[in-house]
Homo-oligomer: A and B are copies of this chain.
Amino acid sequence: MESADAPLPGAPGRRRATAAMVADRAQVSTATVSLVANGKSRGRVSAVNEARVLQAIHELGYVVDGIGSSLSRGVSSTVIMVAPDISNPFFANVIAGVRTALGQDYQLLLSVTDAGTLPSAADTRRLLSLRPAGLLVDAPDEAFLEELSAPDPLVLLDAPGLGERFAAVNLDVAHGARELAGHLAAAGHRKVAYVDGITGTATFELRRAAFLAAADALGLEVPDAACLATTIDVGVVASEFASVWPAWQQAGVTAVACATDTHAYGILQEARARGLRVPGDLAVAGFDDLPYSRTSNPSLTSVHLPGEELGRQAAQQLRRLMAGEMLEDQELTLASSLVVRGSTTVD
């Protein structure tokens, strides 16, 4: 009968149990406790001792101290993920993938900064002083990587163009962009607009460049005036669109491609507010293929990006690096593909 207020010998008060206390109670050395607690006892600890240690661990509620362990081993079992934009449905998928691949062996911790910003040099140094076993960086920019200068296990996500210098998992957004341009051209559009993100994120530049190039090759014209760039906010997009639409209409624009689905939602909303038929008067499409795009009204044609897969693969690469392995492919690229829905086609 163990009651909480009758402190067990070796577990005085509410102090957390140490390996020494466990060793005491099990009548073994702390070396043995360490072996058992870390599952390294195979052929190195007798069955009897193993049982006693396990018993003592259970009784004292012992958990290996992360700090002591990290100091001794030189690294922690923490994986830190740095990301500029946490409040984004797409990002939630990426995280889910990372967690899946990391499993129980590493603890995932997120380092967040202000919207759209990466940590400063000082922040980064403090982060590294926690000795993470590995680092995952989403949508990094040059400046950040400069500061980092760390050859620690590091994998970049969604960092097109950086795969030469760092391990990275990227999305082949260009392929989807070309499919989208092809789809719009095939549907008979001749003049299209492009709505971009306003942060200079590499993936956005890639989306736009690939789309514009493909459009050009297909004889799809993107009038100079028909380009817009806004923050990723439905309301902002809607109001900006409201003010440029007359000019676009004048120019003969009949379709809009957007850098993200969220941008597209803004267009859909405003189009509806002014009685435009979608896709009749205006076809709309985006990138990301967020869950909502399946159920929006009309449903949204979008370039599907495998967010969860992105997270999973990045975490798998990181695991290899953390295990000291070499990477077969330093850069991985995941396919994207167009999902055609109601916002660009009538059934």
A interface vs B, CB < 8 Å?
14, 63-68, 70-71, 76, 78, 80, 86-89, 91-92, 95-96, 99, 107-115, 123, 125-131, 151, 233-236, 238-239, 269-270, 272-273, 291-292, 294-297
Contacts and interface: CB of A to CB of B under 8 A. Distances in A.
Given A63-B128, A65-B131, A107-B126, 8 more contacts: A63-B125, A67-B131, A68-B71, A87-B89, A92-B115, A99-B112, A107-B130, A235-B294
A65 B74 CA distance: 11
Could you say how many copies of this chain the assembly holds?
2
Contacts of A86: 86-87, 92, 95, 110
B114 A234 contact: no
Contacts of A64: 129
A291 B110 contact: no
Contacts of A67: 67, 70-71, 76, 129-131
30 contacts: A63-B126, A63-B128, A65-B129, A65-B131, A66-B129, A66-B130, A67-B67, A67-B76, A67-B130, A67-B131, A71-B71, A86-B86, A86-B92, A86-B95, A87-B91, A87-B92, A96-B115, A99-B113, A99-B114, A107-B123, A107-B126, A107-B127, A110-B112, A233-B291, A234-B292, A234-B296, A235-B291, A270-B297, A272-B272, A272-B297
Contacts of A297: 238, 269-270, 272-273
Nearest to A295: B235
Contact of A292 (B126, B130, B235): B235
A295 B76 contact: no
Nearest to A14: B151
Nearest to A266: B295
Contacts of A108: 111-112
B131 A66 contact: yes
B234 A295 contact: yes
